[in-house]
Amino acid sequence: LFKKCLFPQDYKGQKLAEQIFQGIILVSAVIGFIYGYITEQFGWTVYIVMAGFALSCLLTLPPWPMYRRNPLKWLPVQESGTEEKKAADRKPKRHSKS
């Protein structure tokens, strides 16, 4: 449960979210530039790009189910005593005198 809350997206979901985000920003920038050029109003360009940014944030920031289709496989939890035994079994390295 804790891991699911910390990492709501998998790697493929992150890639999809990034592609959607960049695509919406690019399309809104092109549309905004064209519309602003035609109307000769730079403000409309800014408004359209800001609307595209808001839309892309709405679609990509929440952990929608389409971004969680390929969950990560976590390693099993190891007992803490296992690591201490391994450390105690190791012998310290001795440097030879040359």
Per-residue pLDDT of the chain (98 residues; tens, 9 = 90+): 444 555 566 889 889 999 999 999 999 999 999 999 999 999 999 999 999 999 999 999 988 888 888 887 878 888 876 555 555 566 666 666 65
The pLDDT, as a whole number, for residue 78 is 84
Those residues with Cβ within 8 angstroms of residue 9's Cβ, 6 or more apart along the chain or in another chain: 17, 63, 67, 68
Phi, psi (rounded to 5 degrees) for 62:
-70, 150
Q: Is residue 45 within 8 Å of 33, Cβ to Cβ?
A: yes
The answer to whether the predicted template modeling score (pTM) of the entire model surpasses 0.85 is: no
The pLDDT, as a whole number, for residue 81 is 65
